[in-house]
Amino acid sequence: MTVKEQEEVVKPTNFIHQQIDKDLEEGKNEGRVHTRFPPEPNGYLHIGHAKSICLNFGTAEKYNGLYNLRFDDTNPSKEETEYVDSIKEDVRWLGFDWGDREYFASDYFGKLYEFALKLIREGKAYVDDQPAEVISEQKGTPTRPGTESPFRNRTAEENLELFLAMKNGDFKDGEKVLRAKIDMASPNMHMRDPIIYRIMHTPHHRTGTEWCIYPMYDFAHGQSDYWEGITHSICTLEFEVHRPLYDWFVEQLKDTDYRPRQIEFARLNLSYTVMSKRKLLELVKDNHVNGWDDPRMPTISGLRRRGYTPDSIRNFAERIGVTKTDGMIDVALLEHSVREDLNKSAQRVMGVLNPLKVVITNYPEGQSEELEAVNNPEDESMGKRMVPFSRELYIERDDFMENPPRKFFRLGVGREVRLRYAYFVTCNEVVKDENGEIIELRCTYDPASKGGKSPDGRKVKGTLHWVSAPHAVKSEVRLYDRLFSDENPQAHKDVDFKEFMNPDSLQSLTDCYIEPFVKTANALDHFQFERLGYFNVDPDTNGDTIVFNRTVSLKDSWSKAKKK
């Protein structure tokens, strides 16, 4: 291993690990590191969550600690079991195993209720009878302090009685709330007597109709962390202003030196996409895409269906780093991560997307043969396979030009190229239909060049992929482009992000021919179609047609050169 390689192996550190190092040095929490990933089951996980999962769980792994999966299910009106299941599947697929440490905030509804009772008894919480608008009005603004509720100084007895009535269902939704009594003049809006319990006569996906009062996020999160023994509660930047409140509740709760600590990092922004559950839900609900797992979606399930691998996503998460700087990651980095992974592992195969028929005029009619091809030049252990060759072939339309420009290495009339793993062929004639459209090429092959070798040492500039027409498997191939044409579609104040949707984000080719090797492929299997890109088998595949998704194209220096 070279010096350079050794440097690269060193896992990058970040400010969170540095803070944990410090906590450990100071002997906090008996040297334990315990993290959690706390999704709300109200949507599917996306690549931004993947960053958070890798950070939270990866951190615990790094420090030989533990990590929990905890569903933040305190709002029954938005949460569903479908989402719980998809989240578990996605986290598992990414390669993390949380063992039996699977929790729900709803597991703590009882303890949370008891804790609220304690706050009331200590005069630190009160029932407010005012409607939402009035409470909101009294909150003030960031630059103006709030005013106190007329119900703020009820006696503990009265509050206890009212809260019990709330719990017993004596009131309608919104009629009363329980508030923490902190400081209406605090410069931090979240400290101005935040609402901690609201009335919702809505069945919960786990507790059913047991409760009609539900705790707010702020009243559940830190406490859940505390009860689970979380040491480092890593979340995104928008919760930074909640931290004093998080600490305030933990302070009321703690009875030892242990205390969980919230640390915030910048969420992931990816160019040419949107990354909020609300917006992704909108795309799904309004049928702008075909579901949460549409291969154009930045969801984990979409990326999986598109052909991304867990490794590629984890490497990506590692590469982008962790900071508090709000930035925008170039999708090119994500694409680089899959190419890097798939280049090492993907089975090579030849497939023609836009077929052009080629007849080898000096190859006997009715004859065919099998030629040996390498399965993966990056991994010899993947072995070889046989590819059928015959008189009638398909090549890529792009690989032939009647009037080739300079530096075009492919086929033209009178030119010789190599058909990969097969023979050298020379094009002699172009056949056109009545519209002048090229419909066939007539070529001759050199039998001495079998395997693609030139016995006389003569060179050809181009090597083309091809497929034997009678043997090929006709398939559908779906090509994807970015979902949005704007780098940051949600950043425009006066324009809805959907205005920037790319109308050509999905192109479906139904006249594609792939070598017979793919016949036995299973859903989600990865391939490299030589010279084209990485593709995987879409679950839409049925007995009749194999459907492929293009995960990402190969790097293409020819298309760049062409533009000049």
Which active-site residues does the annotation give?
A: 40, 267, 277
Cβ closest to RNA, residue 127 vs residue 294: 127
Per CB under 7 A, the list member of 161, 183, 240, 476 interacting with RNA is: 240
Query: Is there binding between residue 336 and RNA (CB under 7 A)?
Result: yes
Q: Which is nearer to RNA, 14 or 390 (CB)?
A: 14
Write down the least CB distance from residue 217 to RNA, Å. 3
Phi and psi torsions of 88, nearest 5°: -65, -45
Cα 349–Cα 355–Cα 358 angle in degrees, nearest 5 = 95
- Residues between 197 and 226 with contacts to RNA, criterion CB under 7 A: 198-199, 214, 216-218, 221
Residue 248 tokens, joined? 């305030």
Does residue 428 bind RNA (CB under 7 A)?
no
CB of 53 vs RNA, minimal distance in Å: 15
Q: Tell me, residue by residue from 340 to 379, as one string, x for binding to RNA by CB under 7 A and - for no binding.
A: x--x----x---------------------------xxx-
Tell me how far CA of residue 134 lies from CA of 150, 190, 502, in angstroms.
11, 17, 44
| Residues belonging to the chain | 564
Residue 121 binds RNA (CB under 7 A): no
Instruction: Return phi, psi of residue 353, to 5°.
Output: -85, -45
**Torsion angle, alpha carbons of 420, 423, 424, 430, to 10:** -90
Strand 34-37 relative to strand 66-71, pairing:
parallel
Choose, by CB under 7 A, the member of 65, 130, 229, 446 that binds RNA. Answer: 130
CA distances from 174 to 83, 200, 424, 500 (A): 27, 8, 79, 39
* Size of site (CB under 7 A) for RNA: 90
Task: Give the torsion sign (CA, 89, 91, 96, 97).
Answer: negative
Closest C-alpha among 100, 106, 118, 68 to residue 228: 68
**Whether the Cβ atoms of residue 338 and residue 311 lie closer than 8 Å to each other:** no
- Contact set for RNA, span 527-556 (CB under 7 A): 528, 530-531, 554-556
**Among residues 52, 59, 75, 106, the one that binds RNA under rule CB under 7 A:** 75
What is the closest distance, in whole angstroms, from the C-beta atom of residue 476 to RNA in the complex? Answer: 21
Q: Are 22 and 13 in contact (CB under 8 A)?
A: no
Alpha-carbon gap, residue 146 to 129, rounded angstroms: 17
Instruction: Return the number of the residue (304 or 415) whose C-beta is nearest RNA.
Output: 415
Relative orientation angle of helices 47-62 and 310-320, to the nearest 10 degrees: 80
Of 194, 250, 253, the residue nearest 222 (C-alpha): 250
Q: Contact between 14 and RNA (CB under 7 A)?
A: yes
Among positions 488-507, residues that touch RNA (CB under 7 A) are none
511 vs 370: CA distance, rounded Å: 24
Binding to RNA (CB under 7 A) within 80-119 occurs at none
DSSP letter for 72, please: -
Q: Select 75 or 231, whichever has its Cβ closest to RNA.
A: 75
**Residue from 32, 139, 205, 471 binding RNA (CB under 7 A):** 139
DSSP label at residue 167: H
Q: Which of the stretches 6-14, 57-65, 359-367, 440-448 binds RNA when contact is defined by CB under 7 A? A: 6-14
CB of 93 to RNA, least distance (A): 22
**Interaction between residue 523 and RNA (CB under 7 A):** no
Integer CA distances (angstroms), 258 to 32, 33, 228, 305, in order: 10, 12, 11, 43
Which one of 123, 237, 429, 504 is in contact with RNA (CB under 7 A)? 237
**Nearer to RNA among residue 123 and residue 187 (C-beta):** 187
CB atoms within 10 A of CB 165: 14
- x/- mask, RNA, residues 395-424, rule CB under 7 A, reads ------------xxxx-------x-xx---
- Least distance from RNA to the Cβ atom of residue 250, Å: 17
User: Taking the complex as a whole, how short is the minimal distance between the CB of residue 433 and RNA, in angstroms?
Assistant: 26
Q: Which residue from 65, 95, 229, 452 is in contact with RNA, where contact means CB under 7 A?
A: 452
Q: Return the range that interacts with RNA (CB under 7 A); candidates 45-53, 183-191, 289-297, 305-313.
A: 183-191
CB of 334 to RNA, least distance (A): 9
Comparison of 21 and 499: residue with beta carbon closer to RNA = 21
Query: Which residue stretch of 109-117, 327-335, 437-445, 517-525 sits at the interface with RNA (rule: CB under 7 A)?
Result: 327-335
Residues numbered 255 to 294 that lie near RNA (CB under 7 A) are: 266
- Nearer to RNA among residue 294 and residue 549 (C-beta): 549
Q: What is the DSSP annotation of 334-379?
A: HHHHHHHHHHHHPEEE-EESSEEEEEETTSPTT-EEEEEEES-TT-
Binder among 132, 431, 439, 523 for RNA (CB under 7 A): 132
- By beta-carbon proximity to RNA, the closer residue of 14 and 545 is 14
How many other β-carbons are positioned within 10 Å of the β-carbon of residue 159?
24
Residue 136 makes contact with RNA by CB under 7 A: yes
Cβ-Cβ contacts under 8 Å for 403 (sequence gap 6 or more): 412
Q: Which of 123, 169, 327, 470 binds RNA (CB under 7 A)?
A: 327
388 belongs to the binding site for RNA (CB under 7 A): no
